[in-house]
Structure 1
Amino acid sequence: MDVDFGGADDILFERSGHAGIVTLNRPAALNAVNHRMVRALTRALAAWEADAAVRLVVIRAEGRAFSAGGDILDIYEAGRAGDPPFDFFADEYRLNAAIARFPKPYVALINGIVMGGGVGVSFHGSHRVMTGNAVFAMPEVGIGFFPDVGGSHFLSRLPGGFGLYLALTGNRIRHGDACAFGLATHSVPADDLPALLRRLCETGDADASLAVDARAVAAETEDAVMDAIARHFAHDTLDGVLGSLAADGGEWANAMHATLMARSPTSLRVTFRQIRTGATLTMDDCMRMEFRILSRMLVGHDFYEGIRAAIIDKKSTPHWRPAALDAVAQADVDAYFAPPAGGDLSLQ
């Protein structure tokens, strides 16, 4: 039974058996999350939380991507027009927090790319199912931004410096690494997803349904690289990380150092502090912190410059301001973590 929560064709909702089913339905845009989708999913979760007949929620997607992130072209155009979309991010962050506290099983079926805003609507749920086609990344530093949508909460809790590594480099991982570090809770073959969905709807029991279909998978990243990540990304400062990579001299370390040095200096320093701070915060407090950072990023230079270079002008070289890490003062970083003029984000 289809249900209308105001998402038009961008996001679809239906009731089937014991499940409320959400389908991201913008395959031509790689299911980029927009404001209409955020608002509709928020309404659906509120309704299904109160509906005793809905025992679990399933979120899936049409096409070859689960969701490549937020709709950054909309964000770019609004910001350049002098109307930064604060309301979109506020509603998105409230949704991320609502998913994290949702009292019923929330099962994300992730087949294809999942990044940024797509991570925000999937990885805070109780069951995070990835197929062999899934690719995870939080690549925001590459466009002068930061790993938001709760990145400060889940990345900061990964062992062995792995979360900081993902946050600062923006590198991609697949289902084996995601399962090994607890980002994903299960791996299921892509061909088994239709049967899994039917079982979820029929039984309303996420754990029992996944016990039938889940498969053990090995991590993709070699032990030597895992050891290098743990060694280099365990330092207490960003300069310590960079110095460690530079002193190593090996091919992998040199590549990681070059990757970081191409990023926005401001984004690197803010992201390093964000991830380190997030390890001590609740999910709600992480979202408030991220809104503080966001409030500064949306009126700054590097986010829009990063989008221009990567998306508008297609792989051109971004011109960061400031262009060097040494030019980013501690006071500049502190300002990103100060309460915004309009006050902290309300999560209710």
Structure 2
Amino acid sequence: MLSTTAEDEVLMNKVGSKGVITLNRPKALNALNLNMIRLMYPQIKKWEADPHTSMILIKGAGDKAFCAGGDIRAVTDAGKVGDPLSENFFKEEYILNNAIGTLRVPWIALIHGITMGGGVGLSVHGHFRVATEKTLFAMPETAIGLFPDVGGGYFLPRLQGNLGIFMALTGFRLKGRQVLRAGVATHFVESKFMSALEEEILALNETSEEKIDATIKKYQNESTLDAETPFVLEPHLEEINRLFSAANIEGIISDLERDGSEWAKKQLQTLRKMSPTSMKITLRQLHEGKKKSLQDVLQMEYRLSQHCMQDKDFYEGVRAVLVDKDQSPAWSPSTVEGVSDEQVNWYFSKLANDKELQL
């Protein structure tokens, strides 16, 4: 049982002209729930409208996580019984993501520790994302019958080459400085400097993006840990660009099979564990998202989220990975070939007008 009250799940205060948000559920790895979203959104809008607010900084309490994701178990429990939480959670989360992505003032996310799913949505659309050696970044949704949402369809296809497609389909994890090397974080600062960095940012008289960038870079330059370590995926970027370039999942799988290298075999092994439906909708989501605005992507993702609520794989994935933890989901359909184009099109189809996401 968590000791925090509902109001304490997010702490928000002002330091001079700067807004500070602390996600405060450390025992739950600061996982995002609807209450937290409902506390943050109006406060962010209030600060943005206030000419005396010059920037907003967000961080997670404790040493383990910035935010390990959304409260997926609550959402699946609600979806099973038709509780409106399964509509409201995604809707209000995406509205919050859009508010961060369109913010007038600089948004600085200190992504120390686990940063996945919902935590990515709270950081990746802002101006600054500062990783530490303890940052663990992933979008592991295809393993639970979902898709990399919270605007994943916007930022993932904008990473170098086909890196975003590879990460979205496989749930590949990036650690520490690798998060910066991949282009997900904007800066890397060792955790021992983080409190000094935060103090200095909150003491700035001038809060232009250039000034904030220079302040973070000062600490980044002092952070020598893993400075010489090359990007973990560097040896495979050519393969990622070549083997994850097909227009559909069947093509990616046959390219990997044809390649036959140890690395390709390993990727096939990973993909065969994922929900075939999730992989198909994810690939299309990223292909379409590359050409869309953040707002259009979030509207598309909201349709996908609500169709996930009406289908089977999301519930089965959460059961296998998060509830029973047997890691043996029975996907339906169980093969990529079994997922028809009609089924994929249904996932992308419009909702009733009053159900659509309005931004």
Q: What TM-score, normalized to structure 2? A: 0.92
Pairing 1:206-245 to 2, within 5 Å after superposition? 206-215=212-221, 217=227, 218-245=229-256
Pairing 1:99-118 to 2, within 5 Å after superposition? 99-118=100-119
Shift of 1:180: 2.4
Whether 2:99 is the aligned partner of 1:98: answer yes
Shift of 1:303: 0.3
2:257 to 246, 271, 286: 246
SS of alignment partner, residue 123 of structure 2:
coil
1:292 to 1:219, Cα distance in 2 relative to 1, 3 A: farther
2:345 to 328, 334, 340: 334
Shift of 1:80: 2.2
1:287 to 295, 298, 301: 298
Whether 2:15 is the aligned partner of 1:11: answer no
Residue identity opposite 1:111 in structure 2: H
Output the aligned Cα RMSD: 1.5
Whether 2:278 is the aligned partner of 1:267: answer yes
Pairing 1:302-317 to 2, within 5 Å after superposition? 302-317=313-328
SS of alignment partner, residue 299 of structure 2:
helix
2:357 to 322, 332, 345: 345
Q: Which residue of structure 1 lines up, in the alignment, with residue 83 of structure 2?
A: 83
Aligned length: 342
Q: Which residue of structure 2 lines up, in the alignment, with residue 3 of structure 1?
A: none
Residue identity opposite 1:116 in structure 2: G
Separation of aligned partners in 1, 2:132 and 2:139: 18
Shift of 1:343: 4.3
Q: Which residue of structure 2 lines up, in the alignment, with residue 321 of structure 1?
A: 332
Residue identity opposite 2:358 in structure 1: S
1:124 to 1:79, Cα distance in 2 relative to 1, 3 A: same
1:15 to 1:7, Cα distance in 2 relative to 1, 3 A: farther
Q: Deviations over 1:188-210 (max 9, x none)?
A: 11111111111111105322321
Q: Which residue of structure 1 lines up, in the alignment, with residue 52 of structure 2?
A: 53
Given that residues 128 and 184 in structure 1 are in contact (C-alpha distance below 8 angstroms), is that contact kept between their aligned partners in structure 2? yes
Given that residues 179 and 219 in structure 1 are in contact (C-alpha distance below 8 angstroms), is that contact kept between their aligned partners in structure 2? no
Given that residues 176 and 219 in structure 1 are in contact (C-alpha distance below 8 angstroms), is that contact kept between their aligned partners in structure 2? no
Given that residues 10 and 37 in structure 1 are in contact (C-alpha distance below 8 angstroms), is that contact kept between their aligned partners in structure 2? yes
Q: What's the % identity of the aligned pairs?
A: 40
Pairing 1:160-239 to 2, within 5 Å after superposition? 160-203=161-204, 204-205=206-207, 206-215=212-221, 217=227, 218-239=229-250
Residue identity opposite 1:66 in structure 2: F
Separation of aligned partners in 1, 2:6 and 2:188: 29
Shift of 1:221: 1.1
Q: Deviations over 1:207-230 (max 9, x none)?
A: 232132124745431432222212
SS of alignment partner, residue 254 of structure 2:
helix
Separation of aligned partners in 2, 1:160 and 1:221: 15
SS of alignment partner, residue 105 of structure 2:
coil
Q: Which residue of structure 2 lines up, in the alignment, with residue 72 of structure 1?
A: 72
Shift of 1:305: 0.4
Q: Deviations over 1:33-85 (max 9, x none)?
A: 00011111101111111222221100001121111100112112212223251
Residue identity opposite 2:76 in structure 1: Y
Q: What TM-score, normalized to structure 1? A: 0.95
SS of alignment partner, residue 57 of structure 2:
strand
Gaps of 5+ in 1: 1-5
Shift of 1:7: 5.7
Separation of aligned partners in 2, 1:56 and 1:219: 33
Residue identity opposite 2:231 in structure 1: E
Separation of aligned partners in 2, 1:113 and 1:78: 25
